[in-house]
Amino acid sequence: MTPYRPFARALPVWPQKLTGRMNTWLSFHASVPLAAGRGATLRLAAAQAYRVWVNGQLAGRGPARTAHHHARVDEWPVQADAAGTLAVIIEVMGYGIPTFCSTHEPAFCCAELIVGRRPVAWTAPRGGGFAAEQRTERVQRAERYSYQRAFIEGYRIGAAGLTWRAPGYAPARPLAVARVKHRRTWLARGVAYPDLSVLSPRPAAVRGRALPYRAALAAKAQKFPNLFEVPKTCAGYPLDQVEWPLFQTLAGTPFRTTGPARLRAGAATPLRAKEWIRADFGADCTGFPALRMKAAKATRLLLVFDEILVDDQVKFNRSGCVNALWLELAAGAEIDFEAFEPYTFRYLQVLVWTGAAEVSDLRLRHYINGEALRPAPAGLEPAAAQVRAAALATYRQNALDIFMDCPARERAGWLCDSLFTARAEWHLTGDNVIERAFLENYLVPPGFAGLPRGMVPMCYPAEPLQLQFIPNWAMFLVVQLDEARRLRRLPSAWQPLVERRVRGLVQYFRRFENDLGLLEKLESWVFVEWSKANEFVQDVNFPSNMLYAMTLRAAARLLNDPRLAAQADRIDATVRAMAWRDGRFVDNAVRDKQGRLAVTDHASEACQYYAFFTGLASPRREAALWRRLVRADYGTLYPANVFVGKIMRFELLIANGELAAARRELLKSYVPMARATGTLWELFEKHVSCNHGFTSYIAMLIDQLAAARR
């Protein structure tokens, strides 16, 4: 591929004394005189996350994530103000820890301001016009937000407020920076820029009080390993080293509602110690919580949030993360605060822990996909239209720079999920630009550190925490590459990269083929779906082998190797001979004490869907089983969950003309979700994510139902 050289003079830089440190926040400042209103371009790449302010206004957030030893370059249009000043501030976070939502590589900032075709300021160890300063306002020693993401936000703001964003500010003692000598290939952004518009909550709000701390209540709270087993489970700060153990504080603090409240534009709400006010944004949203606040005296304030209410309260740890951030304000401080990290919530609760403050202008700045999406079919019934709208909202929040599973707890780009979201993208936009970026991230590295040779990460860009991977999800990568090439778009120049990755996976799985040609004793996290079916993944798991045959057929097309297709046929024949029992497919076979392979009687609903989804079974050949499934006559089959069994079911029903059953079940499953959060959930239960990317595929299924009924 042709090398991409975006920067004229900028170099990637970072202060040497801060290299490798955890949870480090820097600001890079440049100010250039221009004619009033004159436009320019800010060309920028950074790791691991950045935010841009231009003349005091938010102008950008990124980056678009990509693979190890690569960085995507953004180009933000910027403009001088009426006084002829172009003041740019780039805030950059170096997390310094492995996560599921970005690669763990040296932090850096590489930026230049271009006027016409000429760089007028750029990052460099000397000169260039950008000055760096460590932002100590963000508390460094904080807890992890979740196992999958980095740190909770905590801030200490002095009486002067957010000084570094004030007009005319320049670092008095800039930090010395050095070139970051890390092998890196620049890539174009490749995807649309985010929608950063602002949303206000509903006027109707709720007030309440925090009750006295109860140690016994805190002791009963689930102890997340990412908090209580650091650094054994993951990198970070142990609880005895953080400046304020927020999880323990909130876990032991009950909340009581005292009555209704009203949020009025321009009006402030006074809050004393232990008082709170809760805003409702009407639906689950993703972005940056924000508000104005004025501290009457030294104040510690919390923002607590979540997607739903539990017993009419915000339960900050409901979904396995710490949905809260905190600020300390000196007496007299008056600030307009906006969180640096994106979160997902419908309800935002502002709690004054100590002190007293006035709060106003509660809001959320979106961080979502803003592209035009396919309109709903004409005449769509209200219930289906409501579910479709929720699927689109879910898509916007999970299809940004990559396909994410959820925009809150993880913000991770998971395989398998990505196949279904990619289908939704193609249907809703007519293109697959995000899918191409997602797949490019998987293709460009020669290999992946910490994983067996040939294996790929289960989610990416990320680090394999505890060296874990899902072999089944690697199979889905091959299936998606094949489908994208046949039905959507892949650049022909990628073919050598595709072949390298697919050959590596084929060679990896060869190690696990037994004397029958079936995969046996797959390693790491063997995953079928979130149900009892996942208790039967060893020794020979039949859904995994069904998927393996599908993978080999996809590989045969990608590599133009008919031998792989013939191998897939042999696997199908063996699985059918072994797994077909009493009119349904059973899930697994295990080795007895004598080493003989014995087929079990465990049979899950999910296993049946894998058989039909992968082409092993067909409604014509397994007609009796198919009719039972259509009637939802599951008998003794262990029930499936929404991912991936029920998604496969909905697709199969529609593809085989069972429209009434598909419509009935889709609406029964998803209307309650759409009504509760305006988004679609990870599972049918609400104890985890209420906003999961693969469910955007439901919009496509609803459109298929509508088309079939016309």
Check whether residue 353 and residue 400 sit in a common domain.
Answer: no
Percent of the residues in the chain that have a pLDDT greater than 90, as a whole number: 97
**What is the three-class DSSP state of 434?**
helix
Q: Tens digits of per-residue pLDDT, 183-198? A: 999 999 999 999 999 9
Q: What is the per-residue pLDDT for 215?
A: 93
611-632 pLDDT, tens digit per residue, is 999 999 999 999 999 999 999 9
Are 517 and 572 in contact, with CB atoms under 8 Å apart? no
Number of domains the chain contains: 3
Specify the pLDDT at position 655: 96
pLDDT tens, position by position, 472-517 = 999 999 999 999 999 999 999 999 999 999 999 999 999 999 999 9
Q: Answer yes or no: do 577 and 456 share one domain.
A: yes
Query: Among 172, 166, 196, 153, which Cα is nearest to 25's?
Result: 153
Average pLDDT, the chain: 97
Are 207 and 184 within one domain? Answer: no
Please report the pLDDT score of residue 2 as a whole number. 65
- Per residue in 187-239, pLDDT (tens digit) is 999 999 999 999 999 999 999 999 999 999 999 999 999 999 999 999 999 99
Mean of pLDDT values over 563-577 = 98
Q: Which of 366, 401, 432 is the last residue of a domain?
A: 366
State how far the alpha carbon of 310 is from the alpha carbons of 202, 230, 253, 306, 634, in Å: 20, 29, 15, 10, 32
Q: Do residue 614 and residue 515 come from a single domain?
A: yes
Angle between the 542-559 and 471-487 helix axes, to the nearest 10 degrees? 40
Contact 293, 351 (CB under 8 A): no
- Residue 248 — φ and ψ, nearest 5°? -65, -35
Is residue 231, in this structure, part of any structural domain at all?
A: no
**pLDDT higher than 80, residue 710:** no
CATH number at residue 539: 1.50.10.10
How do residues 13-47 score in pLDDT, each as one tens digit?
A: 999 999 999 999 999 999 999 999 999 999 999 99
685 assigned to some structural domain: yes
Task: List the one residue out of 374, 444, 406, 14 whose CA is nearest residue 190.
Answer: 444
CB 23 within 8 A of CB 95: yes
Q: How far apart are CA 625 and CA 618, in angstroms?
A: 10
Q: Do residues 184 and 207 both lie within one domain? A: no
Is the Cα torsion angle 242, 246, 247, 248 positive or negative in sign? positive
Task: Report the relative pairing of strands 39-47 and 108-115 from DSSP bridges.
Answer: antiparallel
C-beta of residue 54 within 8 angstroms of C-beta of residue 40: no
SS3 (DSSP) at 267: coil
Distance CA(463)–CA(448), nearest Å, equals: 9
CA–CA distances in Å: residue 132 to residues 129, 172, 285: 10, 10, 33
State the helix-helix crossing angle for 647-655 and 697-709, rounded to 10 degrees: 20
Rounded to an integer, the average pLDDT of 352-370 is 98
Q: Tell me, what's the pLDDT at 20?
A: 93
Residue 688 has what pLDDT? 87
Tell how far CA 573 is from the center of its chain.
Answer: 39
User: How far is 256 from 688, CA to CA, in rounded Å?
Assistant: 24
Residue 234 lies in a domain: no
Domain co-membership, 406 together with 356: no
Contact in structure between 418 and 705 (CB atoms under 8 Å): no
- Cα 506 to its chain centre, rounded Å, is 28
Residue 653's H or E segment, with its range, is helix 647-655
In this structure, the answer to whether residues 129 and 261 fall within a common structural domain is no
Contact (CB, 8 A) for 140 and 78: no
For residues 346-365, give the mean pLDDT: 98
Q: What angle do CA 399, 1, 75 make, to 5 degrees?
A: 50
Residue 114 reports pLDDT greater than 70: yes
Give backbone dihedrals phi and psi of 414, rounded to 5 degrees, phi first.
-90, 135
Residue 709 pLDDT > 90, yes or no? no
> What is the pTM (predicted TM-score) of this model?
0.96
Q: How far is CA 559 from the centre of its chain?
A: 31
Phi, psi of 525 (to 5 degrees): -95, 100
What is the sign of the dihedral through the CA atoms of 697, 703, 706 and 710? negative
Nearest of 508, 388, 511 to residue 451 by alpha carbon = 508
Q: Does 247 fall in a domain?
A: no
User: Is the CB of residue 467 less than 8 Å from the CB of residue 403?
Assistant: no
Question: Is residue 534 located within the same domain as residue 640?
Answer: yes
Verify cis geometry, omega within 30 degrees of 0, for the bond prior to 63: yes
Find the length of the chain.
710
From the number of C-beta atoms within 10 Å of its C-beta (0-12, 13-18, 19+), residue 220 rates as exposed
pLDDT at 1: 55
In a domain, 280, yes or no: yes
Give the pLDDT confidence score for residue 561 in this predicted structure: 98
| Burial class of residue 620 (count of CB atoms within 10 Å of its CB; 0-12, 13-18, 19+) | exposed
d(CA 300, CA 273): 9
- For residue 476 the two structure tokens come to 């889905």
| CB contact at 8 A, 110 and 7 | yes
Question: CB–CB of 545/610 below 8 Å?
Answer: no
Burial class (CB in 10 A: 0-12, 13-18, 19+), 168: exposed
Angle between helix axes 605-613 and 623-630 (nearest 10 degrees) is 120
Name the token pair of 156. 């200490």
Cβ contacts of 361 within 8 Å, gap of 6 or more: 265, 266, 290, 291, 292, 336
| Parallel, antiparallel or unpaired: strands 57-62 and 13-14 | unpaired
**Cβ-count burial 378-397 (b if 16+ within 10 Å, e if not):** eebeebbbbbbbbbbbbbbb
Say whether both 306 and 428 belong to one domain.
Answer: no
pLDDT at 248 over 80: yes
Structural contact between residues 129 and 11, judged by C-beta atoms closer than 8 angstroms: no
In a domain, 225, yes or no: no
Looking at the fold, whether 479 and 513 belong to one and the same domain comes out as yes
Domain that holds residue 357: 198-211+254-366
pLDDT tens profile 643-671: 999 999 999 999 999 999 999 999 999 99
Read off the pLDDT of each residue in 336-346 and give the average, rounded to a whole number: 98
Q: Specify the pLDDT at position 3.
A: 74
Q: How many CB atoms lie within 10 A of CB 183?
A: 8
Asked, for residue 242, whether it belongs to a domain, the answer is no
Residue 101 has pLDDT above 80, yes or no: yes
Cα–Cα distance for residue pair 676/197, rounded to 1 Å:
23
Which CATH number is 107's domain given? 2.60.120.260
For residue 157, the model assigns a pLDDT of 98
Helix (H) or strand (E) holding 285: strand 275-295
What's the rounded Cα separation, in Å, for the pair 380 and 374? 14
Q: How many CB atoms lie within 10 A of CB 173?
A: 6
Can you read off the two tokens belonging to residue 254? 């009950």
Q: Are strands 198-199 and 118-122 parallel, antiparallel or unpaired?
A: unpaired
CA Rg value for the chain: 27
Tell me the pLDDT tens digit for each residue of 37-95. 999 999 999 999 999 999 999 999 999 999 999 999 999 999 999 999 999 999 999 99
Instruction: Tell me how crowded residue 451 is: count the other CB atoms within 10 A of its CB.
Output: 18
Q: What is the DSSP string of 626-644?
A: HHHHHTT--TTPBPP-III
Q: Which amino acid is at 589?
A: A
User: Does residue 246 form part of some domain?
Assistant: no
Cβ contact 589:597 at 8 Å? yes
Percent of the chain with pLDDT over 70: 100
Same domain as 309, residue 412 = no
* Distance between CA atoms of residues 414 and 399, nearest Å: 12
Residues 11, 130 contacting (CB under 8 angstroms): no
Average pLDDT over residues 442-451: 96
Identify whether residues 408 and 535 lie together within a single domain.
Answer: yes
Q: CA distances (Å), 350 to each of 269, 293, 301, 610, in order?
A: 10, 10, 7, 46
How far is the C-alpha of 187 from the C-alpha of 443, rounded, in Å? 13
Closest CA to 421 of 155, 129, 644: 644
